[in-house]
Amino acid sequence: MEKYLIDTNIFIESAYRFYAFDICPGFWDFLNKASNSKNIKSIIKVYEELQPDKKELENFKEELRNKNFFLQIENIKYESYEKVSIALQKMKYSKEAVNKFSSGADYFLIALAYQESYIIVTHESKSKTILKNQVKIPNLCEQLDIECIDIAEFLRREKVQFILKE
């Protein structure tokens, strides 16, 4: 069975654009139901990055936290962080880009995905050329042989459909 880690931007982009709470409540119902699974998670750093100004997203974030949806990062091994750091060096990102990336949730998300064989779900797109001043999750995942998919692929794999009722 596949295991997924959800990136911060899935919550933000979905709430403010594609799957807004008032337009597509089924999306949030699905995530709420999926949060009971051991195979669909995120990390506490994503929880901390989520600073919504929408009450619905704030409430949803807290509900997920109460269900232990956000995994702690204390169990990520040094070797996993080291593998991510080595990959960043090989890809020759600027020091500023690496520092910015390492201070956010993405670094921890990728380290855990590497360690525990998770698939990362993100709205980020792979850059055809490595942007030395910005680390993109899909590019780094490719370097580390971590599968990285977008929300549409995630919903397809989980066989989710949102059907209009009349």
Query: Could you read off the pLDDT of 75-123 as tens digits, one per residue?
Result: 999 999 999 999 999 988 888 988 999 999 999 999 999 999 999 999 9
From the list 3, 1, 5, 60, the residue with the least C-alpha distance to 33 is 60
User: Would you state the pLDDT for residue 130?
Assistant: 64
Cα–Cα distance between 43 and 125 in angstroms, integer? 21
Amino acid of residue 130: I
User: Would you state the pLDDT for residue 143?
Assistant: 94
Phi, psi of 165 (to 5 degrees): -100, 145
Cα–Cα distance between 86 and 146 in angstroms, integer? 15
**Which tens digit of pLDDT belongs to each residue from 38-63?**
999 999 999 999 987 889 999 999 99
pLDDT confidence bin for 27, thresholds 50/70/90: very high
User: Would you state the pLDDT for residue 63?
Assistant: 95
Whether the per-residue pLDDT at 163 is higher than 80: the answer is: yes
CATH H-level superfamily of 4-157? 5'-nuclease (3.40.50.1010)
Lowest average pLDDT, out of 18-22, 106-110, 147-151, goes to: 18-22
pTM greater than the 0.95 cutoff: no
